[in-house]
Amino acid sequence: MNKLSIIAVIQYPITNLFDTLYLEYKKTSLFDFKFVIIPSKQPGLSVGEFKLKEIINYMNKKGYPYLKGYDEISKSYFDLKKLKPDIVFLQTPYDLQRGSFKYSSGYIKNFAKVANISYGAIMIDLKIMYENLYKENPFLKNCWKIFVENDEMKKIFDGIIPNKAVSIGYMKCDYLLNYKGDANYDKYWSLPIKDNFRIIWKPRWIAESKSSNLFKYLYYFIYLVENNSKIDFVWYMHPFIKSQIIINKLMSKTELIKIFKKIKSLKNFRIEESGDFLNCVFGADLYIGDVSSTLIEFALTGKPIIYTPTTEEKLNYFGKKIIKNSYIIKDTIEMTKKINELSKKIDPLKKSRQRNVKNISKNISGNKSIAEVMIEYINNHN
């Protein structure tokens, strides 16, 4: 009997959905696993494209072997059919982002099962904001399964396209939750953990005021950090933010350069923008941010969250449960007071927040990792 053959197509310099599948492949050799890398595309947008070289640099840094799915000289794509895979995981559920019909779900489904792992639990109500983006997406019809974080996410996907979603656990965080990941969080921070308070901030990448609190708090946090040497601050910056600021004329290039120069001059303010950002996020004492799957991922730590709402987003039932155990802050005066309290461990939501951790990811307290559970499922349904 031939071993199960799995391919993960990587088009962005980030592998946290597949790290533990690769580790299980190396550990057990019970199945075959390959990374195939291609450049990413963003039709109609001027941001978000990654060249093959950027993917190569990231994979080399991780020490992961890979096959090139794109030849830059001939500008041609390798046909995955030649590898005779059983399952092909596509990194995103959007065929147009892969630049070739050969890497579309509609083509791949003819010779392998097409699968996807959810990149993050959904906090917003899709019926209000993004319903058509999902309903009109051919990937959902072509794919075999989408592996999601919990039963709440399965309900959401079942409402869009039934019998596709499998509640498996928060695969994106499996490496940190079940394999102890990079336990040395200190290297992602500027100051020693002792006697200092670590804060990570993630404003929404869209950057406009109705959708993001970027400009509402950016100068405030610079001032706060500059005047408090005990605060170790990281801005987790989405890779699209800089371009969004310029495209939407929210700030000139000169102003933007000035801001980043100021941030760089502060010994306790750092910008995180790597593909392995969760290693930094999990090391924080406090998370501050707008609506984001990263907020949910930090909630897995049981540590305090400050949620900064905007006028645009509408939360779904799951999102409301997360925010119920977070501190909702709407201005800088409240923000200063709450940061001060939490730095002194005045945290009245702690017990209810930590009780809710088990609802964020399925299989979080089991004896098996999420990757192991996924492999079992695939073997039983292949």
pLDDT value for 336: 97
pLDDT value for 365: 63
> Distance (Å, rounded) from C-alpha 8 to C-alpha 24?
14
Position of tokens 């928060």?
Answer: 170
Task: Give whole-number Cα distances, 343 to 77, 195, 319, 346, in Å.
Answer: 52, 10, 25, 7
Name the residue with higher pLDDT: 127 or 41: 41
pLDDT value for 134: 65
Q: Residue 239 pLDDT more than 90?
A: no
Give mean pLDDT, residues 123-132: 67
Confidence grade of residue 241 (pLDDT, cut at 50, 70, 90): confident
What architecture is the 4-170+363-381 domain classified under in CATH? 3-Layer(aba) Sandwich (3.40)
| pTM exceeds cut of 0.85 | yes
Q: Quick one: what percent of the chain has pLDDT higher than 90?
A: 69
pLDDT value for 201: 97
- Pick from 49, 69, 55: nearest CA to 14: 55
Instruction: For the chain, give the mean pLDDT.
Output: 90
Q: Residue 183 pLDDT more than 90?
A: no
Mind listing the pLDDT tens digit for each residue in 274-321?
888 999 999 999 999 999 999 999 999 999 999 999 876 789 999 999
Q: Quick one: what percent of the chain has pLDDT higher than 70?
A: 93
Mind listing the pLDDT tens digit for each residue in 202-211?
998 776 667 8
Q: Residue 112 pLDDT more than 80?
A: yes
Are 264 and 47 contacting, i.e. CB atoms less than 8 angstroms apart? no
User: Of 122-136, 263-277, 298-312, 319-333, where does mean pLDDT reach its minimum?
Assistant: 122-136
Burial class (CB in 10 A: 0-12, 13-18, 19+), 102: middle
> Distance (Å, rounded) from C-alpha 122 to C-alpha 130?
11
Confidence grade of residue 143 (pLDDT, cut at 50, 70, 90): very high
- 245: which 2 tokens? 């600021």
Q: What is the dotted CATH code of the domain comprising 185-359? A: 3.40.50.2000
350 membership: H or E segment, kind and range = helix 350-355
Burial class (CB in 10 A: 0-12, 13-18, 19+), 254: exposed
pLDDT value for 311: 74
- 8: which 2 tokens? 């993960």
Give mean pLDDT, residues 252-277: 91
pLDDT value for 130: 55
Confidence grade of residue 382 (pLDDT, cut at 50, 70, 90): confident
DSSP 125-183: -TTTTTHHHHHT-HHHHH-SEEEESSHHHHHHHHHHSTT-EEE---GGGHHHHHS----
Name the residue with higher pLDDT: 85 or 42: 85
> Distance (Å, rounded) from C-alpha 32 to C-alpha 3?
6
Confidence grade of residue 125 (pLDDT, cut at 50, 70, 90): confident
80 pairs with which residues across the strands? none
- Number of alpha helices (DSSP H) and beta strands (DSSP E) in the chain: 16, 15
Mind listing the pLDDT tens digit for each residue in 17-66?
999 999 999 998 889 999 999 999 876 555 557 889 999 999 999 999 99
Q: Residue 131 pLDDT more than 80?
A: no
- Pick from 15, 93, 28, 98: nearest CA to 57: 15
Q: Residue 102 pLDDT more than 90?
A: yes
Give mean pLDDT, residues 111-140: 82
Where are the domain boundaries for CATH 3.40.50.2000 in the chain?
4-170+363-381, 185-359
> Distance (Å, rounded) from C-alpha 117 to C-alpha 17?
7
Are 103 and 67 contacting, i.e. CB atoms less than 8 angstroms apart? no
pLDDT value for 63: 95
